[in-house]
């Protein structure tokens, strides 16, 4: 195990280096930079631009240097915990993502827990009662959950949340708490609003996960070892929970590699419609405005989470399924 972990960590280093190069190239591909876009925007609004300040910022962050020098400056800063400066927000990237990051983590973690709590019993029930009325009903609800777009469900829930419960439309909290430090009243307002994005984002995830669990579990229940266990007189509950369910959970563990970056990125479309103070809309806006350090740091952080998540899922799969080995046996 230790040798496997060491090998994977050594592979992760060149992988992240290649990813960082690709991210830098993609960010550099559009013509111009943030400052040129900013000056053009001010001209369209008829406002004067402080060219001296812009030139100072360009020199400070080496925008006048060749691309390889800018890349090394960016990567070197991240290795020391400096993720750069957001020109759009006029503050360091660490400060820009502070509150939005923990709100995104809160929504995503609650959504994942909500999805798993619903998907497990639904998938288990549908698989053990195949072709029953309950199976057909849950299948219909699952297909509806997958088919209904997030933005449509968001608009519907925004309306009914305001009409039925008096919850203000949009945002993660009441508007009076937006710029205030965390307090018990602000936290209560967040809890009052959080169920709307969790329900919207979790609907499709619950439906898809329940369908996959049902399909995997049905495949396991049809195998010979399950037939043998039933013939030996084991109880139906033990037959299902002993091994088939464990084997059917492999895809849950394999999804860890995608779940970790989702916790940070969040559901961007839903966040934009609901005006949520999460990192998803900020990332999209940073890419549009060519805010290099903010966009690049986000993408690099998501890539690192993906690589770490894949490693964690591989290790967890080897512990869950005895058929999976981290390395082959020597002859």
pLDDT of residue 18: 92
Element (H or E) spanning 328, and its range?
none
Torsion angles phi and psi, residue 92, rounded to 5:
-60, 150
| Tens digit of pLDDT at every position of the chain (331 positions) | 677 778 778 888 899 899 999 988 888 777 767 777 777 776 777 776 677 777 777 777 777 778 888 888 888 888 887 787 787 787 888 888 877 777 877 887 888 888 888 888 888 888 888 888 888 888 888 888 778 877 788 788 777 777 777 766 667 777 777 777 777 888 888 887 788 788 888 887 788 888 888 888 888 888 888 888 888 888 878 888 777 887 777 777 777 767 766 666 656 777 777 777 777 788 888 877 778 888 888 888 888 888 888 888 777 777 776 666 655 444 4
For every residue of 167-180, DSSP letters joined together read PPSSSSS-GGGTTS
Residues 6+ apart with CB under 8 A from 13: none
**Model-level pTM?**
0.74
The string of pLDDT tens digits covering residues 16-73 is: 899 999 988 888 777 767 777 777 776 777 776 677 777 777 777 777 778 888 888 8
Helices (H), the chain: 2-28, 34-45, 51-60, 67-79, 93-96, 98-128, 133-147, 150-164, 184-221, 224-231, 236-242, 244-248, 250-254, 256-265, 268-274, 279-289, 292-320
Measured CA to CA, the distance from residue 212 to residue 146 in angstroms comes to: 12
What's the CA angle centered on 274, arms 273 and 276, to 5 degrees?
115
% of the chain at pLDDT higher than 70:
89
pLDDT of residue 243: 77
Measured CA to CA, the distance from residue 311 to residue 326 in angstroms comes to: 11
What's the distance, CA 85 to chain centroid? 24
The string of pLDDT tens digits covering residues 232-261 is: 888 878 888 777 887 777 777 777 767 766
Domain ranges across the chain: 16-82, 98-320
* Residues 197/270, Cβ–Cβ less than 8 Å: yes
CATH superfamily of 98-320: MetI-like (1.10.3720.10)
> What are the structure tokens assigned to 82, written together?
């400096």
Measured CA to CA, the distance from residue 105 to residue 64 in angstroms comes to: 37
């Amino acid at each position: 195990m230790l040798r496997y972990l060491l090998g994977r960590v050594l592979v992760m280093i060149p992988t992240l280096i290649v990813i960082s190069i690709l991210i830098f190239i993609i960010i550099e591909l559009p013509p111009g930079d943030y400052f040129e876009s900013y000056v053009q925007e001010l001209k369209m609004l008829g406002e004067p631009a402080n060219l001296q300040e812009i030139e100072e910022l360009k020199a400070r962050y080496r925008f006048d240097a060749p691309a390889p020098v800018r890349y090394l400056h960016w990567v070197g800063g991240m290795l020391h915990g400096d993720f750069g400066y957001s020109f759009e927000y006029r503050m360091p990237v660490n400060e820009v993502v502070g509150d939005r990051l923990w709100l995104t983590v809160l929504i995503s973690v609650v959504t994942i827990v909500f999805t798993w709590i619903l998907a497990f019993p639904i998938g288990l029930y549908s698989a053990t009662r195949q072709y029953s009325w309950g199976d057909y009903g849950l299948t219909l609800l699952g297909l509806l959950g997958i088919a209904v777009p997030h933005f449509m469900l968001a608009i519907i829930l925004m309306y009914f949340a305001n009409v039925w419960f008096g919850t203000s439309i949009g945002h993660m909290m009441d508007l009076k708490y937006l710029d205030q430090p965390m307090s018990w009243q602000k936290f209560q307002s967040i809890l009052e609003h959080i169920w709307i994005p969790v329900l919207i984002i979790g609907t499709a995830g619950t439906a898809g996960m329940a369908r996959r669990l049902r399909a995997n579990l049905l495949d396991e229940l049809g195998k010979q070892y399950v037939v043998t266990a039933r013939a030996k007189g084991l109880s139906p509950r033990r037959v299902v929970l002993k091994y088939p369910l464990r084997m059917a959970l492999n895809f849950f563990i394999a999804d860890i590699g995608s779940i970790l970056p989702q916790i940070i990125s969040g559901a961007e479309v839903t966040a934009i419609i609901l005006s949520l103070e999460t990192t998803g809309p900020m990332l999209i806006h940073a890419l549009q405005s060519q805010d290099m350090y903010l966009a690049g740091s986000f993408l690099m952080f998501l890539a690192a989470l993906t690589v770490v998540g894949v490693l964690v899922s591989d290790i967890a799969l080897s512990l869950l399924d005895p058929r999976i080995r981290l390395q082959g046996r020597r002859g």
